[in-house]
């Protein structure tokens, strides 16, 4: 069984939609669909109302909030529309609890459901990223006109294997999910939920989750197992919002795995306008990352980065149970030191041909001529320059030191 992320990539389950008007009638499907919106922040209502105005009148809309005044404000803006309002009696769990508990009673009536919620920046410097995030989930799931939702529903109707459609991962200067870092420390809680629900799925810490932000369109049969579980409000504790193992962070990442268990695939959907913007942002940010990275990590290509990992894995394997010495206290020596420390291996010292009697990154530096060899020691030649490596290797062999390996071999 493949991972959901790999399936999306292999099958090309990325849908970029323009404002094309469908030739076939979607009225019946629209009446079988619902949009559930959770709102928590008063001051941003009008920002979301711009998207709400694009929802077809044939679709049922449910607005959930733990604040009655907020529900009253949304009602005034949408008086006469086919909206239903649900007061969440307990604010704990925010959007996730609203979907799993209040939303549970709604789902049985519909074939397709969209879930959305509001968002606020916790720090002023994140505001631009949060604005992009709002444009991402609301713009890509609701769109700028009624045709967008119709096109999304047509994807489901035309592809029986599609169970979930998510917006792309957040982008920006502070949101790093699109770098492949989507777990953000929450893998363990997500894995526990797959076990709690007894999901037959492929989940891996090495492959990012598919879909972030608890915003999605889904076929209700695809997520039936998630909603069938007896979640209660006491499962949620908002005092743990800073804990990566908080339940909500696992639920946020679980949807594609639930769909896989039910026999469905998960895809991504976005507007053509957003796809263009994302391409430009990702290109700009990637160029900046590579430029900065090259100052500390002189492997600017994907292929060389793979070789770095292969060589580092070989060094780690050879270092187990050894007294490790790093030959070379330059950039690559420090790189090897950092990686060894992350694996719980603390080298004894740096070795150098000239200099010594100092510390680099809190590790002692000593001259090779003062080093005392023993069978438990291992020298790692860290430079990648071929001429330098050969000089070091010649020097070691000349002194009959053979217990060494080269980092870059």
What does the block give as tokens for 152? 């999304």
- Looking at the domain assignment, is residue 388 inside a domain? yes
329 CB contacts (<8 Å, ≥6 apart)?
350, 352, 355, 360, 363, 365
**Looking at the structure, do residues 306 and 372 belong to the same domain, yes or no?**
yes
**Looking at the structure, do residues 282 and 358 belong to the same domain, yes or no?**
no
pLDDT digits (tens, 9 = 90+) for 208-245: 999 999 999 999 999 999 999 999 999 998 766 677 78
User: Using H for helix, E for strand and C for coil, what is the string for 99-143?
Assistant: HHHHCHHHHCCCCEEEEEECCCCCCHHHHHHHHHHHHHHHHHHCC
**Looking at the structure, do residues 237 and 98 belong to the same domain, yes or no?**
yes
**Looking at the structure, do residues 195 and 335 belong to the same domain, yes or no?**
no
pTM for the whole structure? 0.78
Q: Is the pLDDT of residue 277 over 80?
A: yes
The 3-state DSSP class for residue 164 equals strand
* CATH code at position 117: 3.90.550
- Looking at the domain assignment, is residue 294 inside a domain? no
Residue at a domain's end among 250, 266, 288: 288
pLDDT category of residue 180 using cuts at 50, 70 and 90: low
- Looking at the domain assignment, is residue 169 inside a domain? yes
**Looking at the structure, do residues 390 and 359 belong to the same domain, yes or no?**
yes
**Looking at the structure, do residues 237 and 385 belong to the same domain, yes or no?**
no
What are phi and psi for residue 100, nearest 5 degrees?
Answer: -75, -30
- Residue 196: exposed, middle, or buried by beta-carbon count in 10 A (0-12, 13-18, 19+)? exposed
**Looking at the structure, do residues 360 and 268 belong to the same domain, yes or no?**
no
pLDDT digits (tens, 9 = 90+) for 94-139: 999 999 999 999 999 999 999 999 998 878 888 888 899 999 999 9
- Looking at the domain assignment, is residue 293 inside a domain? no
**Looking at the structure, do residues 336 and 209 belong to the same domain, yes or no?**
no
- Residue 282's pLDDT is 85
**Looking at the structure, do residues 390 and 306 belong to the same domain, yes or no?**
yes
Residue at a domain's end among 288, 323, 356: 288
Radius of gyration (C-alpha) of the chain in whole angstroms: 27
- Residue 275's pLDDT is 95
- Looking at the domain assignment, is residue 295 inside a domain? no
Cα–Cα nearest to 185, from 176, 195, 194: 176
**Looking at the structure, do residues 112 and 179 belong to the same domain, yes or no?**
yes
* CATH code at position 312: 3.40.50.720
- Residue 133's pLDDT is 92
Query: CA-to-CA distance for 139 and 129, rounded, in angstroms?
Result: 15
What does the block give as tokens for 150? 């119709």
pLDDT category of residue 295 using cuts at 50, 70 and 90: low
| Range(s) of the domain holding residue 244 | 4-288
**Looking at the structure, do residues 146 and 259 belong to the same domain, yes or no?**
yes
Number of domains in the chain: 2
**Looking at the structure, do residues 259 and 323 belong to the same domain, yes or no?**
no
What are phi and psi for residue 351, nearest 5 degrees?
Answer: -115, 140
Enclosing H/E stretch for 377 = strand 377-381
- Looking at the domain assignment, is residue 88 inside a domain? yes
pLDDT category of residue 185 using cuts at 50, 70 and 90: confident
- Looking at the domain assignment, is residue 96 inside a domain? yes
- Looking at the domain assignment, is residue 297 inside a domain? no
CB of 209 closer than 8 Å to CB of 183: yes
Query: CA-to-CA distance for 275 and 280, rounded, in angstroms?
Result: 9
């Amino acid at each position: 069984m493949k991972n959901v992320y790999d399936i999306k990539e292999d099958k090309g389950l990325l849908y970029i939609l323009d404002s094309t008007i469908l030739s076939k009638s979607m009225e019946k499907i629209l009446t079988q669909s619902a949009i559930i919106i959770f709102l928590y922040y008063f001051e941003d209502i009008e920002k979301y109302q711009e998207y709400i105005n694009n929802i077809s009148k044939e679709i049922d809309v449910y607005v959930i909030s733990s604040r009655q005044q907020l529900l009253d404000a949304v009602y005034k803006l949408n008086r006469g529309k086919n909206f239903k309002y649900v007061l969440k009696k307990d604010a704990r769990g925010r959007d996730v609890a609203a979907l799993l508990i209040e939303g549970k009673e709604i789902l049985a009536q519909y074939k397709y459901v969209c879930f959305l919620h509001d968002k606020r920046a916790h720090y002023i410097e994140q505001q631009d990223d949060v604005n992009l995030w709002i444009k991402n989930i609301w713009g890509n799931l609701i769109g700028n006109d009624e045709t967008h939702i119709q096109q999304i529903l047509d994807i489901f109707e035309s592809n029986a294997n599609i169970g979930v459609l998510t917006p792309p991962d957040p982008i920006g200067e502070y949101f790093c999910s699109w770098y492949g870092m989507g777990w953000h420390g929450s893998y363990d809680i997500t894995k526990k939920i797959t076990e709690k629900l007894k999901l037959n799925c492929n989940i891996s810490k090495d492959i990012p989750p598919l879909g972030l932000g608890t915003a999605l369109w889904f076929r209700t049969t695809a997520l039936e197992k998630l909603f069938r579980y007896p979640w209660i409000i006491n499962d949620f504790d908002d005092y743990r919002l800073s804990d990566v193992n908080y339940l909500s962070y696992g639920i946020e990442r679980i949807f594609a795995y639930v769909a896989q268990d039910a026999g469905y695939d998960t895809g991504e959907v976005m507007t053509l306008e957003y796809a263009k913007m994302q391409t430009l942002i990702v290109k700009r940010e990637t160029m900046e990352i590579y430029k900065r990275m090259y100052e500390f990590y002189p492997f600017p290509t994907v292929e060389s980065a793979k070789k770095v990992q292969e060589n580092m894995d070989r060094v780690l394997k050879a270092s187990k149970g050894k007294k490790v010495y790093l030959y070379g206290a330059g950039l690559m020596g420090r790189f090897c030191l950092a990686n060894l420390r992350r694996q719980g291996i603390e080298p004894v010292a740096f070795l150098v041909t000239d200099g010594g009697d100092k510390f680099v990154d809190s590790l002692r530096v000593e001259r090779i001529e003062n080093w005392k060899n023993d069978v438990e020691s291992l020298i790692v030649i860290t430079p990648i320059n071929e001429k330098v490596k050969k000089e070091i290797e010649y020097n070691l062999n000349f002194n009959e030191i053979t217990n060494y390996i080269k980092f870059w071999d």
